[in-house]
Each structure stands twice: as structure tokens, then as C-alpha cells.
Structure 1
């Protein structure tokens, strides 16, 4: 990477402040949507490969709408509306939407349900749960990911303690070193009471997980109107219960690729491959 992430900006949409990173450029706009509980700064190695040839926007859909995980959480359709309003406010037209995990599903909701015009979509390990799950009503305690988020540690004396803690966890073992350092820098905030805490608190991460169960994306896939690339990690823990090959086949101009040796966190593990995939044929195809 040749430069540091830009400063965070904020735009007010319908009385809600939406934070975002902006990389100035003249080419077709690219909007990068992060995964549940993560951050726009983690896209920086990808954005650095695309800018300045492209205008790159990376919103932070983490803390802008504090929500109660025990009261339905933060509905992902609301995030899709926020994306629509952000693009309107920033005059982002016909972008390439790149969504990881939660961000991939939000992209589908924005494009199909809300009619956001999109030049191309790249869905990286999108969360398309089995259809029957969307018909179930489960509590935070019954939701495996929300329950785990609620138990997440959220207090350390300093960033060095965070680094040592995270480096010992298998979860971070395959992360690109630069992305890992971005997470240590921006994924952790100073606590006014002393020490440091997660930028996206456990309760808010749990609210995001709970909000993903409100809308079944499967019926929307045949209505996608733009070329769409679905990227899947060969070693993703989601493969036994999310059929992304089938998802790509339901999209009229869908294409599926498998990244060998990658897990669910493809942008964190293989940012160079993601950036090169975007900078190549994806950005040259029109909807």
C-alpha cells in the first residue's frame, strides 16, 4: 500500500449520520460494503489498488444506528435504505457494488428491493441462509453468531494486549498482515474510562446478526439485472449450509468462482486477489 486510509467523513441522510471513507478518482464508482461487525478500513488494501482510477466509497454500517439485539436487531433492509440514501447524497450513480458477507446481502436488497441501479455486483461469501431459517423466530441466545458476539471480550489495557490476544486466536491466523494491523488500529478505540474497546461493540454486532433474519434473499436473485460475480472460499465454514453455486445460477448473469485455500474472510485473507479481480474484467463490464 502506498498511502494510509483517508480520514472518515460523514453525510447526514434522513437525520442519521452515516460515516464513510472516500477515495477520489475519475473512473466508475465502486462501493465497498463490509461484513457484520467489521469496518470499512479493512477494505483499504483493495481500495488502494482501485484508486485513483476509480472513485471508491466504503461506508461504515456498524455504529450509526445503535440497535437492540433482543428487539429484532438492525434490519438489513434498513442498511440497504441507508446505502441508497448515501449514494444519492454523494451523487454515486451506477456503482460497482462489492459486498462481503452481510454487505453482499445488503447489496441484493438495495438493488432488487429498492431498485438501486448497479453497474456490476461482486458478492463475496454473501449470507444467503437456508430459506426455512427466515421463517423461524429465534432469540439472541438461540442465534449461534449473535450469542457468540454477545460473549465477545471487549476490554484490554492497550492495543499491544489486543494484538497479543488476537494473534493467539485461530480466527486471525490467515489474515493478511496489513489488514490485521488495520484492524488493530481502527477496530479498537480508546475507552474514556481507561484501556481500549472494540469499535463495533458486542451488543451492536449481535444486533446486526439478528437483523439478517428479516428478509429472505433467495426469491430476489432471479431479479438481479446486472452482471454478478459470486466469490466463495474453498475452506469457508459456511459451505455446508450456504449453496453459493446455486445462488450464482439463479442470477441471470451470475458467475461463481471458488478461491482455493481461502475461508469466509476473503477480503481479510486475500485482499490482493480481490483488488486484482475488481480492477480487471469486473470494472470493464456494463450492466
Structure 2
């Protein structure tokens, strides 16, 4: 199907093999003759499909590619802590872009996706034009140490929450009613939540639906102190050559110092946006404006 025939701009779906794993991606073809390439990377536990409403709205100016990070969405399940490093995820994503023969692109990364964006920009500086980091999970040693001391080696609270997450539901309507009525997903633009429920759950043979991302995968990424994670990625920031914009929510429940330290590391300022940790997904019109402002 050509982009001119794809009136609704339904994304093309594909998979590659990277490091022995199936890695899935979505490709929203640009509708305009002149366009830029934009790679979008999702938060921990989510999937590329949640960008669908936004990708459709900006398709006149951007070809948008979203990758399901290993262990997420339609990509192959990964439970091994050693195989869930940010560096390995970044390598997967680069292989997707190479398979699509996209040699130059900008990156929009949210939360974990922002961390992977940093890794990609450090690995392949000749390919990345602009980075838009929305609450990227990358922190320096001091803030990570302080956090570890605060937790006193107890399990990370987000990991605890992930392991308690209900994985099987009767249908998508039940998920929509549940997720849409409680924090933090009640703040999402309804179409974004609907897209996540569409792409982030799989249909089972018994008629029920199940989380595509195993809660144990999400928990391991949140809670691991050993995997290649936030402190290592913070160290890569100084290697990034691309124009970089740091964005964070004014009402974020994360430590604002993390984003201030990121900005200081690359000699810039934090762009504080109304909203919480998922501010980018809270208002579609604003999301599109932010992309045009910071990606160009």
C-alpha cells in the first residue's frame, strides 16, 4: 500500500532480528513531499503504538518510526536482566533504522525512551540530528547513590507496582474503564490511552487480552541495580553531538534535579511543561506543537 493510498495513515508493521531477538516496529509514512524522519521511543512497560494519534497528526511533515523496545509490545519477550541494558536496546533500534535505510533522523524519547535516545545519539552521532528528551531516565552517580540510600536496598517501589500489575483482562473496554479512571493514565489524552490498549495488549485464544510487556520485564528495568541503566546512560550525555532539548513536567513525581543535572551536563536549560511525567501524552495539540518547536 503506498502512502497516497493509505488515507488513514495506518502504520506499516515490521520486524527484524537483532541480537537473536525479534524486534518490532511501526512506520507511519509521511504524507507530504518534503519531510523529516522522526524516531519515537516509548516509556518502560508501554509500546510504540501509543504514539499513533500523534504520528498521524504530524505525518504531513514527518515520517515517524516507532520501535517496540526489546521485551515490549510486539517485540520478543526478554526477562534476563543482563539482556535489558539501555545499550542493547539502543543497538536494536539502530538496526531497525538501518533496515529501513534511514540514515539521518531526529529522536523523540519519553522516559525510558529518552534514555535509549541518548545512547543512540552517542553511538551514532553522524545519524542523529536533534534529540527531544521528555523526562529521560538518566541520572548522575550522586543522585542515584542518594536514591539507593533512601531505599536502603529495598525493592524499587515502581518495580513492586509493576509486579502487582494485572496482566489479563476480559476485554479492552474493561482495561479502558480501569486505566482511564486512575492515576497516572487518567491524565493521558483518551486517544493515546486507546492506542496503548490497542497495541500494548495481545488477544489470547480464550478471548481474553493480556499485557504485551511481561510485568517482570517492566519490574526488572525499574528495579535492577546491575543492568546497564540510568547512571551509565547519564555518562553518555557528554558524548552527544546532536542538538538536544531537555523537557520535563512541572508536576512530575520524579526528582526535578535529575533533569536539571542533564541540562547542566550539556550546558542548556530545562524546558518545564505543564503536566506530569507523561506530559507529552496529555494533550495532542500541545504534543504536535512541541515536536514542531523542538524538532523543527
Decide: shared fold, TM above 0.5.
Answer: yes
1:52 aligned partner? 60
1:9 aligned partner? 14
- Secondary structure of the structure 2 residue equivalent to 1:217: helix
Matched, 1:258 2:272: yes
Shift of 1:149: 0.7
| Counterparts of residues 1-287 of structure 1 (less than 5 Å) | 3=8, 5-25=10-30, 26-61=34-69, 62=72, 64-68=75-79, 71-72=81-82, 74-113=84-123, 115=125, 117-132=127-142, 133=144, 142-209=155-222, 210=224, 211=227, 213=229, 215-240=231-256, 242-252=257-267, 254-260=268-274, 262-280=275-293, 282-283=295-296
- Secondary structure of the structure 1 residue equivalent to 2:184: helix
* Runs of at least 4 residues off by over 6 Å: 134-141
- Secondary structure of the structure 1 residue equivalent to 2:168: coil
* Cα distance change, pair 14–233 in 1 and its aligned pair in 2 (3 A): same
Please tell me whether the aligned partners of residues 43 and 267 of structure 1 are also in contact (alpha carbons under 8 angstroms). no
Shift of 1:151: 1.2
Distance across 2 between alignment mates of 1:36 and 1:14: 20
Distance across 2 between alignment mates of 1:213 and 1:145: 15
Distance across 2 between alignment mates of 1:139 and 1:187: 33
Distance across 1 between alignment mates of 2:243 and 2:269: 8
Normalising by structure 1, report the TM-score: 0.85
Distance across 1 between alignment mates of 2:78 and 2:14: 22
Q: What does the per-residue CA deviation read over 1:85-135, in whole Å, with 9 as the maximum and x for residues that have no partner?
A: 112111112211110000111111122145463100000010123524379
Distance across 2 between alignment mates of 1:23 and 1:231: 24
Distance across 2 between alignment mates of 1:116 and 1:202: 36
How many residues end up aligned between the 2 structures?
Answer: 278
- Secondary structure of the structure 2 residue equivalent to 1:206: helix
Distance across 2 between alignment mates of 1:249 and 1:98: 20
Please tell me whether the aligned partners of residues 6 and 21 of structure 1 are also in contact (alpha carbons under 8 angstroms). yes
* Cα distance change, pair 14–142 in 1 and its aligned pair in 2 (3 A): closer
Shift of 1:268: 2.0
* Cα distance change, pair 192–49 in 1 and its aligned pair in 2 (3 A): same
Normalising by structure 2, report the TM-score: 0.83
Gaps of 5+ in 2: 1-6
* Cα distance change, pair 5–238 in 1 and its aligned pair in 2 (3 A): farther
Please tell me whether the aligned partners of residues 134 and 215 of structure 1 are also in contact (alpha carbons under 8 angstroms). no
Shift of 1:142: 1.2
2:3 aligned partner? none
Distance across 2 between alignment mates of 1:140 and 1:188: 32
C-alpha RMSD of matched pairs (Å)? 2.8
Gaps of 5+ in 1: none
Distance across 2 between alignment mates of 1:218 and 1:160: 39
